[in-house]
């Protein structure tokens, strides 16, 4: 008789399958009703023994108890799964299959734990997980109508990007709807930049430019302020200049803010943009991303140490800055330069007479890895960082007297 990979005894097999079915059923029930039960306990509407599990009066918000329940359920599920695997290996499977099953389960637990640590129950949301794709491969970009701009964001999107709600207006701006014609008694600010400014992984209402708009409007007794977000992921200095010429000026801004980091090395060739195939991160390993965390942080450090601007490269950068200066002078629109990271363009901008707002000098990048990343493997600044950016920029806008109409 051929050796079977399952030991004799159907009862043991049925028992293990029942354990696995119970685990799956437990997950389904918790996903559907877990938070409802916690909320009922929080409000004292559950059965007595469950209501008594929370010390009265409850001081923390209900979301705090959701987090505790999620962590307890995850730990319990892992322990339950390990017990099930032990029973399967001990009593049901023979040795070669034991090794293979143990290895697969171990990898599954590593990936499962990594995802749950990063995203909680969103780990099981196929659409949100796929929102972790970079902007160039998530289906949000299209060829621009102006060849110099190369590409732009599609209008009227209503989706997710890096786990947060991502919405564009009818003009393809990651912002609320603004009329192209400037209303009376409005001081309008146009914000140019790349993904950190857009911002990737942060809700638009938590972006530094939105916070500035809210703060200035709350303080203003006469007129109002609009900060319109023209930032697009991956834009170079040349693309920002083209966006200024062909998009921003039609909005009649009173101030333009150009926010670095922006790639000034001009890697993007001025050729028709080819839409890239979509990426589906749901099928990628996030445990691997966490392991590569130090590599990601090296990218942050490297981004703060741009190569020196010399020779022809310096001439090209100066030519682009000169075009910004000409537009600023001809249209009587101040152009402020904001540096979120150290950048060799900063002294060139200062020499050319641009108002410079040096955020990098007053931001604690030693804490960046622990406190100010949207994810441990993604170097984009989070909402807490944007709040600090907004405070620094607010003070410098006042200092440079940039918030008065010309």
Q: What confidence tens digit (pLDDT) does each residue in 206-255 have?
A: 999 999 999 999 998 888 999 999 999 989 999 999 999 999 999 999 99
Beta bridge partners of 97: none
* CATH, range 134-399: 3.40.50.1110
Which pair of tokens denotes residue 24?
């799956």
Contact indicator for 328, 334 with CB cutoff of 8 Å: yes
Give residue 10's pLDDT band: very low, low, confident or very high (50, 70, 90): low
pLDDT at position 265 is 63
- What is the mean predicted confidence (pLDDT) over 272-288? 86
Q: Is the pLDDT of residue 257 over 80?
A: yes
Report d(CA 36, CA 111) in Å as an integer.
Answer: 27
H helix intervals, 148-257: 208-219, 237-246
First-to-final CA distance of the chain:
94
Helices 62-87, 95-119: axis angle to 10 degrees equals 170
pLDDT at position 95 is 61
Percent of the chain with pLDDT over 70: 83
When mean pLDDT is compared across 296-310, 344-358, 388-402, the lowest value belongs to 296-310
Q: Is the pLDDT of residue 393 over 60?
A: yes
Which pair of tokens denotes residue 79?
């322990």
pLDDT at position 56 is 65
- What is the mean predicted confidence (pLDDT) over 343-357? 87
Beta bridge partners of 153: 141
Average pLDDT score over the chain: 83
Sketch the domain layout of the chain as residue ranges: 10-124, 134-399
Which pair of tokens denotes residue 68?
């505790």
Q: Is the pLDDT of residue 31 over 90?
A: no
Closest to 392 (Cα-Cα) out of 223, 211, 131, 123: 211
- What is the mean predicted confidence (pLDDT) over 352-375? 82
Query: 57-68 pLDDT, tens per residue?
Result: 666 677 677 778
pLDDT at position 270 is 53
More confident site: 87 or 55? 87
Which pair of tokens denotes residue 134?
């970079």
From residue 167, alpha-carbon distances to 7, 41, 206 in Å are: 56, 36, 14
Which pair of tokens denotes residue 167?
């919405």
pLDDT at position 1 is 44
Report d(CA 293, CA 279) in Å as an integer.
Answer: 20
Task: Write out the DSSP string of 303-351.
Answer: HTSPPP--HHHHHHHHHHHHHHHHHHHHHT--EEEEESS--THHHHHHH
pLDDT at position 308 is 64
Q: Is the pLDDT of residue 268 over 60?
A: no
């Amino acid at each position: 008789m051929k050796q079977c990979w399952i030991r004799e005894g159907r009862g043991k097999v049925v028992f293990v399958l029942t354990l696995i079915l119970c685990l799956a059923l437990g997950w389904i029930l918790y996903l559907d009703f877990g938070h409802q039960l916690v909320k009922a306990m929080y409000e004292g509407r559950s059965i007595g023994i469950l209501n008594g599990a929370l010390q009265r009066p409850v001081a923390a918000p209900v979301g705090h108890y959701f987090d505790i329940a999620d962590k307890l359920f995850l730990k319990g599920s892992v322990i339950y799964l390990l017990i099930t695997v032990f029973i399967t290996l001990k009593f049901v499977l023979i040795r070669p299959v034991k090794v293979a099953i143990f290895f697969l389960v171990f990898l599954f637990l590593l990936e499962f734990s990594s995802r749950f640590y990063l995203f909680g129950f969103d780990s099981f949301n196929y659409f949100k997980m796929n929102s972790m794709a970079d902007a160039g491969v998530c289906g949000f970009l299209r060829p621009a109508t102006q060849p110099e701009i190369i590409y732009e964001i599609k209008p009227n999107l209503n989706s997710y990007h890096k786990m947060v709600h991502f919405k564009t207006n009818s003009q393809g701006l990651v912002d609320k709807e603004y009329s192209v014609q400037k209303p009376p008694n409005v001081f309008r600010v146009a914000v140019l930049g790349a993904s950190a400014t857009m911002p990737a992984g942060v809700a638009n209402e938590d972006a530094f430019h939105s916070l500035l708009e809210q703060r200035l409007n709350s303080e203003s007794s006469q007129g109002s302020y609009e900060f319109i977000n023209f930032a697009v992921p991956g834009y170079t200095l040349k693309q920002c200049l083209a966006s200024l010429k062909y998009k921003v000026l039609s909005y009649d801004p009173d101030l333009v803010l150009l926010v670095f980091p922006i790639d000034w090395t001009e890697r993007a060739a001025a050729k028709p943009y080819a839409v890239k195939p979509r990426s589906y991160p749901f099928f990628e390993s996030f445990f691997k991303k966490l392991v590569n965390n130090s590599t990601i942080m090296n990218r942050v450090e490297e981004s703060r140490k741009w190569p020196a601007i010399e020779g022809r490269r310096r001439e090209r950068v100066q030519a682009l800055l000169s075009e910004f200066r000409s537009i600023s002078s001809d249209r009587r629109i101040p152009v402020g330069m904001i540096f979120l990271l150290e950048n060799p363009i900063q002294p060139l901008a200062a020499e050319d007479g641009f108002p410079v707002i040096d955020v990098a000098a007053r931001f604690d990048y030693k804490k960046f890895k622990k406190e100010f990343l949207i994810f441990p493997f993604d170097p984009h600044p989070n909402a807490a960082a944007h709040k600090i950016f907004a405070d620094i920029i607010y003070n410098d806008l006042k200092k440079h007297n940039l918030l008065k109409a010309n």
